A and B are shown apart, each in its own frame.
Chain A
Amino acid sequence: MTLAEVLPSAGAVTAPDPVLRVEGLCVSVRTEGGLKPLVQDLSFTLAKGETLAIAGESGSGKSITSLAIMGLLPPPAVRVTGGRVLLGGENLIGLPEPALRSVRGDRIAMIFQEPMTSLNPVMTVGAQLVEAIRAHERVGRAEAAKRAVEALRAVRLSEPERRMGQYPHELSGGMRQRVMIAMALALKPEVLIADEPTTALDVTVQREVLDLLRDLQRQMGTAIILITHDMGVVAEMATRVIVMRQGRQVEAAATVDIFGKPQADYTRALLAAVPRMGQGLVRPPVTTEPVARLEDVVVRYPLRGGLLGGVTQNVHAVEHVSFDIRRGETFALVGESGCGKSTIAKALVGLAPHSGRIEIAGQALAGLDAPGQKAMRRKVQMVFQDPMAALNPRMRVGELIAEPLLIHALGTAANRRAKAADLMARVGLEASQLDRYPHEFSGGQRQRICIARALALQPDLIIADESVSALDVSVQARVLGLLRALQAEFGMSYLFISHDMAVVENISDRVGVMYLGQIVELGTRAQIFGNPQHPYTRRLIDAVPVPDPAHQRAAAPGLAGEVPSPLHAPGSGPLRVRLADIGGGHLVGQ
């Protein structure tokens, strides 16, 4: 690809006042087998004040594109092998480092996905903001500090003066992302690149951060490149969309057209896979006997300190939670990070010390002897969020799937292998792949392996803790389909733990909504999503980005401050939420 072939078409897109033009951008990585392209022949323009979304699944090259524009590609392996990036007529590709440095942060700024790790943990928020300002403008420390406070106020952080002296670990994820935005916008850049800015945030926080970005853009006229995998976020934020796949542009069009009349097959498939509220299949209510019963379950972790190491505070992770999971049903627990949903999963498999009563198949979990516990563990299996971390990289897939059988001494070696081969086929993989290692599979395939392993013991209950959260939407849709099919075949129950309301709405029979360790609302899917009663449930549902550009939502600007804490001094605790039945088993916190 030469420049001459690229140039004629590059400026054709309707943009009156282009701030940034990317022309025929190619990025490659040097591997042992030669240069491997990561981005191929990508061209677009970005107008003042507009939001261009670059959407795609993992490996599409969307993040690499943003790093290439910033000149931040990890050297020496990854580099730009062709094309131009024009900022106000100046080509950034090949610009010497000092010149690039004066562009970065000043004219093009960037915010990243991980607010937890993107700020330096040993520097105060103020120092990091001041340094960003002083890197580009000749102002004194006091003047820079004044502007930093203004920037913090602009991103609607409460008590901006106090935040200046705080360290990142003292702030919540949403507050940190606001600091990142403040840092990026303090110098009023022409272009802001937001790389998955809300992916790591809770859905209500995502809502606030997106609103904030939009408001700031309106005030400053910043052009935004929004990189995301979430079509809901695209629909809410973008004026135009580029859909990328495997380093190439698949389709580029105005947002309404992408959602209204997608041209490319891939775009259509991508949109079809996006979980939408109100799409779940209606299933008859499950009225079988419970497989698991939780009664008044409490999990608290003591924090120790002081001279004699006494308990100074307790983390109230789970507070007086009661519910049951019926045979063959999918019970979902939803809530934001830290609400205690994963702690319940841990308590169910005996990994968290609890008070109250947990029964699995009619038998209480507490007071079991070692053989009793081992037998109990056969009945409950787990599938985790990150399949790569959940599979031992040095074991073959066949061994991994058969390991539960080995631990419980079931069958001969040949039996176990046959069983593993059978399970592989059940989850849609080839039995011939039994001798491969986990790294040879894709993310979705690895999660299938985890599911096969959980199935090996034919448990009564499978706990799926954010099991599809890390997967691309198209893969996610297939894994959800697999889970449903397996349930129809084997009749086990799922405890489905997720922060994603749309996914929960699609898969669950009954739902429990958790907030700060307590269940605030519990009912069938129709009750929770059709007639949400608790304000928190409503907030969660309202916050979900809708993959439809026509959908209008009232912005609710709020100040971000301290999040309510699950820490309490010994003897005290949170106010207990009392659940009342408002009819048909729909329990609502008062």
Chain B
Amino acid sequence: MAGYLIRRLVQAVLILLGVSFITFFLLYVLPADPVRQIAGRSATAQTVENIREQLGLDKPFVVQYARYLGALVQGDMGRSYLQKTEVAELILSRLPATLLLMVAAIVCELVLGLTMGIIAALWRGRAVDQTLMVTSFVTVSAPQFVVSLLLLYVFAVKLGWFPIGGYGTFAHLVLPAVTLAILGSGWYSRMMRSSMIDVLRADYIRTARAKGLSRARIVLRHALPNAILPVIAMIGIDIGVFMGGIVVVESVFGWPGIGQLAWQAIQRVDIPIIMGVTLVSACAIVLGNLLADLIAPFIDPRIRLR
């Protein structure tokens, strides 16, 4: 177990190294020039060159990357070009908001998706099943910016049940979390449905019925733990998709998280922030996957971590 964890953590460091290199390289070859953004339109060529030199952006790529890594190892993620604050500080101050949104959305999509999937599987081929599957198809295909605007229009503008945007109360949380959850619930319901249908055909379900157990017990105690295994592995992978959605949703709803931070930074080519947010997201994905792998043996004793 300890050996497994150490190996996974070494892997995680290598993944983060790879992510940092690729992102840094992409930002380097990008035609957008951060210095122009900082200096402003009216700056003279001399000013521009001064700023470039000051930020070290005149150095070759390898030197820039080595400097960045060197600082990163010491916990220094650099300073924002435009806000003149520490990136680590910026991210830390916004991380709680994003985490709150993420947890709320994941809980929401799992409850929604798994319930839909189980119901569809139990009544497969019937009208309930078909309705749920069409619904899930729609939610999976609907782009998040459309869903978020639609929800905003109906529930915030027309009905006035929830605030249009911002952060602070539970009511603020509902619309962004639901927007994020809708996409995921479609995926999870489809996955849960097919997994559940497989499991319900298994021999041990027949054994459970032959024992005279109630239907509820068969579904909840025998089928569900077996059916949920592939879904758990999926949650780890899903966090990556989630980070993409968070950038969109936080911007639309004015949610002060790292997604919004990233969006603003991208528009202004604020390289240290983009790097910081990317690395934090990568960390989240790696940790999410590790967590999913660590949970699996508790549900299925046949899985051994080695």
Contacts and interface: CB of A to CB of B under 8 A. Distances in A.
Interface of A: 70, 72, 97, 101-106, 109-110, 112, 114, 117-123, 131-132, 135-136, 167, 169, 180, 183, 304-307
Contacts of A180: 207
A425 B3 CA distance: 60
Interface stretch (B66-74, B97-105, B277-285, B295-303): B295-303
A135 B211 contact: yes
13 contacts: A70-B210, A101-B213, A102-B212, A103-B212, A122-B226, A122-B299, A122-B301, A131-B211, A135-B213, A135-B214, A136-B212, A180-B207, A305-B306
Contacts of B3: 305-307
Interface string B196-232: 0000001110111111111101000110011000000
Contact of B301 (A109, A119, A167, A307): A167
B7 interface: yes
Task: Identify the 9 closest CB pairs spanning chains A and B, nearest first.
Answer: A105-B212, A307-B3, A104-B212, A105-B211, A117-B203, A120-B204, A305-B306, A132-B211, A110-B210
Contacts, number: 83
B210 A105 contact: yes
B207 A112 contact: yes
Contact of B300 (A112, A121, A132, A183): A121
Nearest to B300: A122
B6 interface: yes
A135 B207 contact: no
A157 B224 CA distance: 30
Interface secondary structure of B, over-half rule = helix
Given A122-B301, A169-B302, A304-B306, A101 B214 contact: yes
Contacts of A121: 204, 226, 300-302
Contacts of B210: 70, 72, 104-105, 109-110, 112
B206 A118 contact: yes
Contacts of B209: 72, 104
Contacts of B222: 120, 123
Contacts of B202: 117
Interface of B: 2-3, 6-7, 202-204, 206-215, 217, 221-222, 225-226, 299-302, 306
A86 B299 CA distance: 41
Contacts of A136: 212
Given A118-B206, A118-B207, A180-B207, A101 B212 contact: yes
B63 to A, nearest CB: 35
B4 to A, nearest CB: 8
Contacts of A106: 212
Nearest to B209: A72
A569 to B, nearest CB: 16
A180 to B, nearest CB: 7
A558 to B, nearest CB: 25
A135 B216 CA distance: 12
Contacts of B301: 121-122, 167, 169
Given A101-B214, A106-B212, A135-B212, A119 B302 contact: no
Contacts of B212: 101-106, 132, 135-136
Nearest to A193: B210
B226 A118 contact: no
A304 B7 CA distance: 14
A481 B124 CA distance: 47
Contacts of B6: 307
Contacts of A306: 3, 306
A114 B203 contact: yes
Given A104-B212, A106-B212, A120-B226, A72 B206 contact: yes
Contacts of B2: 307
A443 B204 CA distance: 26
A136 B209 CA distance: 13
A304 B304 CA distance: 12
B206 A112 contact: yes
Contacts of A70: 210
A135 B217 CA distance: 10
A105 B209 CA distance: 9
Given A123-B222, A169-B302, A307-B6, A112 B211 contact: no
A216 B226 CA distance: 33
Q: Which of A70, A97, A123, A304 has the most CB of B within 10 A?
A: A123
Nearest to A115: B203
A169 B303 CA distance: 11
A305 B212 CA distance: 42
A284 B268 CA distance: 92
B33 to A, nearest CB: 47
A476 to B, nearest CB: 25
A169 B6 CA distance: 28
In this complex, which of B212, B214, B300, B301 has the most chain A Cβ atoms within 10 angstroms of its Cβ? B212
B68 to A, nearest CB: 31
A102 B210 CA distance: 10
Contacts of A72: 206, 209-210
A114 B207 CA distance: 11
Nearest to A106: B212
Contacts of A118: 203-204, 206-207
A513 to B, nearest CB: 32
A416 B300 CA distance: 50
A315 to B, nearest CB: 15
A228 B111 CA distance: 45
A180 B209 CA distance: 13
Given A120-B204, A122-B301, A180-B207, 8 more contacts: A109-B211, A118-B204, A118-B207, A121-B301, A132-B213, A169-B302, A183-B207, A304-B306
Contacts of A307: 2-3, 6-7
Contacts of B213: 101, 105, 131-132, 135
Nearest to B228: A122
Given A102-B212, A104-B209, A105-B212, A122 B203 contact: no
**Of A72, A101, A167, A169, most B-chain CB atoms within 10 Å:** A101
A112 B225 contact: no
A526 B217 CA distance: 56
Indicate the member of A97, A117, A118, A120 with the most B CB atoms within 10 Å: A120
Contact of A112 (B203, B217, B221, B226): B203
Nearest to A107: B212
Q: Which of A104, A106, A118 has the most CB of B within 10 A?
A: A118
A179 to B, nearest CB: 10
A105 B207 CA distance: 9
A75 to B, nearest CB: 11
A153 B225 CA distance: 29
Nearest to A136: B212
A446 B206 CA distance: 30
B231 to A, nearest CB: 14
A307 B306 CA distance: 8
Nearest to A103: B212
A304 B299 CA distance: 23
Contacts of A117: 202-204
